Amino acid sequence: MNINWAERMSCMENPAVKAILAITQRSDVISFAGGLPSARAFPVEGLAAAFAAVLNEQGAAALQYGISEGYEPLRAWVADRAGRQGIRCTAANVLIGNGSQQIIDLIARTMLDPGDYVALENPTYLSAVQVFKGAQARFLPIPLDQEGMRVDILAEQIKKVRPKFIYVNPTFQNPTGVTMTVERRRQLAQLAAEHEIPVIEDNPYGELRYSGEPLPAVKSFPGGDWVIYAGTVSKIVAPGLRVGWAIASETIVDKLATAKQLTDVLTNSLTQRALHRFVTEQELDQHIAMIVKQYRQQRDVMLAAMEEHFPSGVTWTVPDGGMFIWVTLPATINTNDLLPVAIEEEKVAYVPGTPFHADDSGYNTMRLNFSNSTPDLIRTGVARLGALFKRHLK
Amino acid sequence: MNINWAERMSCMENPAVKAILAITQRSDVISFAGGLPSARAFPVEGLAAAFAAVLNEQGAAALQYGISEGYEPLRAWVADRAGRQGIRCTAANVLIGNGSQQIIDLIARTMLDPGDYVALENPTYLSAVQVFKGAQARFLPIPLDQEGMRVDILAEQIKKVRPKFIYVNPTFQNPTGVTMTVERRRQLAQLAAEHEIPVIEDNPYGELRYSGEPLPAVKSFPGGDWVIYAGTVSKIVAPGLRVGWAIASETIVDKLATAKQLTDVLTNSLTQRALHRFVTEQELDQHIAMIVKQYRQQRDVMLAAMEEHFPSGVTWTVPDGGMFIWVTLPATINTNDLLPVAIEEEKVAYVPGTPFHADDSGYNTMRLNFSNSTPDLIRTGVARLGALFKRHLK
């Protein structure tokens, strides 16, 4: 069977990533490769109560079709909670999708024609890079430092090539863990408005802060009308529920809803209602505090173990939140080549840095996840990585 | 705010359809316009038990990420049940999506480049037409008669222009209610294999049969390897759960999974597991028999009322199942123009036939839905339509 697939498929697929993820799944391996939240962090009982209550009280209404924008009370809750980050909006500015991955995809579909440019942090979220590649986009990769995306370099770049939009993950960035400073946020919003270029502010981890003070969203600054904010419950409630959202101008919400309607009509009605029940009637903040306490300990254990076991010449970020630490090795190490060795010899896995780079650079970097391993496994796994690095840096 | 949207957006949007659907929503109107299942047909208690059991017994596992292809036991159930239609397959041939709408969309994304041709019944499912338009496809509209798509005309057409795939809704077709005969099914599968052109067999209504004998799927005939079958629980359990599936060769499932992963990672884990619980432990066939009994009565009431109230010169299909009856009026009537009159003067709504036609023909046709109105409302609404037709045919 020989099928003539669409051209975008050759851009969308990355066999290297598939192969990487496959080998990191071995059950005898300590994996820092995934991006999974801890199953211990899921509010199973609270959700059970919410689903039961919604089916009992709302019955058939919770099982019928609904509008593509999403369940209005849930949209209102999203709008209200966004106020904590300084975003002023109403339910009319919110569209519910199947996780924030769908929000990124809907934005790509509504905005990108083949050959269009996307500006993004280099490195950035791997699956966003793949979505944009699938939309046959080209890239303006912008470096980031400890203060986040280099907005000054972005400003220079967009004078030369105008991107269709700017994609950023400003808070506890995936993969680096870096958080964009207030000043850079302000500059980015201003730059977007000045050039009339939309910004996608992807913020799946923002509520998982272990140190430092919460920062206002990029969307909260002057010019924020040009920002489309993407949020999700995947990391604060559960990813299996597949609920995320966009917060944007009504014009943009309307376009996203058109695409959403043809994509899959609407997001699971029952889940939207049960989730609304859960977040409004149960103690969500208390639940998040429990997750934060757990992940903070895991982060601290990982950082301490890295101090203890990683040889000199290896550097890493110290994230204030999120799920990832970013490691940079001396230029003599290629983490793509090292991965099979790490798995075979040390039974430990990570994600090599290259696929996070839209320009395929970063061969001497890697991402480590600390949310989905116990402190004991973290200590053991980091010690193994340290031993591996020492052998290969000799 | 002036955003430069992707080209596909100008193809995807149909303001006429939006306007039609908006005016059919008026609460004082008897609406035969929607395609909603009856809320009385939803197994609220059975689903409540299934969700409770899954959360209680599987806990966190039901809330975590999973593979893009879907929950393996649910895929195995789909494969097994497809055997009733003569389809031989395993879980490896199944991909779970958010309703069969997402299956159609994933197929369009993986196969269609701008300018590609799609062969389809004329008329056919409105939202499929819009998905293909959004993919910037062109059309080979193939007429259908009482035996379904004119496969002989299709065979002639594809000699001249090769379509990327053939989209059919062979059983209780939306919008006509027509069912493709066994002989045409056989011919279609053979034609597809002979020319190596995939067929999309979209079958959302197949289990809702009120008269006649069940027919084997197009995919069950020789050549069926070239058929991608799309199914859903929207009409036999509930649409708000957003669970549908593709059944196809493993090569195709693999491509669809790649697109699915970037689109929204996976379908709601908890819902997939609860649905699996429901369909395997509760009496699904008994539940479907209850729906069939209800809808059969509604169909019969609508057909009898049409006999009684519609003037001569008006013709309609007599469907053996599904949710729709297709009405053809004399050529002097334009159903697009008549709709506002129907709503204002008679407080009754339908969907005009034009948007179901990829070639924008069918101005004197309309679709009536009988699944979502009680027998009393059906009698009243059809009488109103009859009065309207009589006035306008004088």
Identify which of A121, A150, A185, A158 has the alpha carbon closest to the alpha carbon of residue A361: A121
CA separation, residue B137 to residues A65, A365, B112 (Å): 28, 42, 7
B113 vs A: CB within 8 A:
yes
Rounded distance between C-alpha atoms, residue A247 and residue A92, angstroms: 9
Is pLDDT above 70 for A365? yes
Q: d(Cα B81, Cα B93) in Å, to the nearest integer?
A: 13
Of the pLDDT bands very low, low, confident and very high (cuts 50, 70, 90), residue A34 is confident
Q: Using alpha carbons, select from B110, B162, B109 the residue that is nearest to residue B135.
A: B109
pLDDT above 90: residue A35: no
Q: Calculate mean pLDDT across residues A327-336.
A: 97
Does ipTM come in above 0.90? yes
Distance in angstroms (rounded) separating the CA atoms of residues B228 and B250 = 11
Are B13 and A258 inside 8 Å of each other by CB? yes
Q: Which of A82, A47, A130, A125 is nearest to A245 (CA)?
A: A82
| A166 contact B CB<8A | no
Q: For the purposes of burial, counting CB atoms within 10 Å of the CB of B123, is it exposed (0-12), middle (13-18) or buried (19 or more)?
A: buried
Q: Provide the token pair at A341.
A: 């060795």
pLDDT value for A19: 73
Report the distance separating Cα A238 and Cα B21, nearest Å. 35
* CB distance A54 to A273 below 8 Å: yes
- Closest among A64, A55, A98, A259 to B234, alpha carbons compared: A64
Interface with chain A: mutation pick from B11, B64, B112, B225, highest number of A CBs within 10 Å: B64
What is the reported pLDDT for A30?
Answer: 94
Spatial CA neighbour of A154 closest among A146, A145, A166: A166
Helix (H, G, I), strand (E, B) or coil at A329: coil
Of A191-205, A352-366, B8-22, give the lowest mean pLDDT range: B8-22
CB contact under 8 A, A64 and B3: no
Query: What is the model's pLDDT at position B61?
Result: 94
Identity (one letter) of the amino acid at B55? L
What per-residue confidence (pLDDT) applies to B266?
95
Could you give the CA distance from residue B133 to residue B266 in angstroms, rounded to a whole number?
A: 25
The count of C-alpha atoms lying within 13 angstroms of the C-alpha of B134, restricted to the half-sphere facing its C-beta, is 29
Q: For residue B219, list chain A residues with Cβ-Cβ distance below 8 A.
A: none
CATH architecture of the domain with range A47-281: 3-Layer(aba) Sandwich (3.40)
Whether cis (ω within 30° of 0) applies to the bond prior to A175 is: yes
Query: How many CB contacts within 8 angstroms connect chain A with chain B?
Result: 227
Most A CBs within 10 Å: which of B12, B25, B56, B242, as the mutation test of the A interface? B242
Q: Which tokens hold the place of A339?
A: 């991965």
For B271, which of A109, A111, A271 is closest by C-beta distance? Answer: A271
Report the distance separating Cα B245 and Cα B225, nearest Å.
16
pLDDT band at A26 (very low <50, low <70, confident <90, very high): confident
- Cβ distance of A48 and B64 shorter than 8 Å: no
Task: List the single residue in B with minimal CA-CA distance to A131.
Answer: B262
Helices and strands, number each (H, E), in chain B: 13, 14
Cα B168 off chain centre by: 10
Q: What is the number of helices (H) and of strands (E) in chain A?
A: 13, 14
Task: Give, as one character, the DSSP assignment of residue A361.
Answer: -
- Per-residue confidence (pLDDT) for residue B218, from 0 to 100: 98
Average pLDDT, chain A: 96
- The answer to whether A324 faces chain B, any CB pair under 8 Å, is no
Closest residue in A to B256 (Cα–Cα): A9
| pLDDT on residue B35 | 87
- Decide the pairing of beta strands B138-145 and B117-122: parallel
Task: Tell me which amino acid residue A212 is.
Answer: G
Query: In chain A, what are the domain boundaries?
Result: 7-42+286-393, 47-281
- Residue A235 pLDDT: 96
Q: Is the pLDDT of residue A11 over 90?
A: no
For residue B47, what is the nearest residue in chain A, using CA coordinates?
A55
Q: A284, A226, A246: which is closest to A98 by C-alpha?
A: A246
**Cβ distance B39 to B358 under 8 Å?**
no
Distance CA B203, CA A371 (A): 42
Nearest CA-CA distance, residue B249 and chain A, Å:
9
**Angle ∠(A253,A254,A258) on CA atoms, nearest 5:** 115
Q: Where are the alpha helices (DSSP H) in B71-205?
A: 72-82, 99-111, 126-134, 151-160, 182-195
> What pLDDT sits at residue B364?
98
Same fold? A7-42+286-393, A47-281: no
Which strands, in side-by-side order, build the sheet including A199-202? A94-97, A244-247, A227-232, A199-202, A165-168, A117-122, A138-145, A148-149
Angular region, A200: left φ>0, alpha ψ -120 to 50, beta rest: beta
Q: How far is A55 from chain B (nearest CA, A)?
A: 6
**Cα separation, B320 vs B210, whole angstroms:** 6
pLDDT of residue A24: 67
- B90 and A CB contact within 8 Å: no
Tokens (6 digits) for A269: 């009605």
| pLDDT digit string, tens, across residues A316-325 | 999 999 999 9
The list of chain B residues with pLDDT below 50 reads: none
The C-alpha of A2 sits at a distance from chain B's nearest C-alpha, in angstroms, of 8
Interface of A with B in 51-70 (CB under 8 A): 51-52, 55-56, 59-66
CA-to-CA dists, residue A228 to A68, A263, B102, B119, B364, angstroms: 18, 20, 24, 37, 43
- Residue B207 to residue B295: CA distance in whole angstroms: 12
For the stretch A68-118, pLDDT in tens is 999 999 999 999 999 999 999 999 999 999 999 999 999 999 999 999 999
As to burial, measured by CB atoms within 10 angstroms (0-12 exposed, 13-18 middle, 19+ buried), residue A223 is buried
In the CATH hierarchy, which fold is given to the domain comprising A7-42+286-393? Aspartate Aminotransferase, domain 1 (3.90.1150)
Residue type (1 letter), B95: L
How does residue A1 score in pLDDT terms, banded at 50, 70 and 90? confident
What pLDDT, in 10s, does the model give residues B9-18? 988 877 767 7
What pLDDT does residue B205 have? 98
Side-by-side strand order, sheet with B244-247: B94-97, B244-247, B227-232, B199-202, B165-168, B117-122, B138-145, B148-149
Q: What is the CATH number of domain B63-281?
A: 3.40.640.10
B251 touches chain A (CB under 8 A): yes
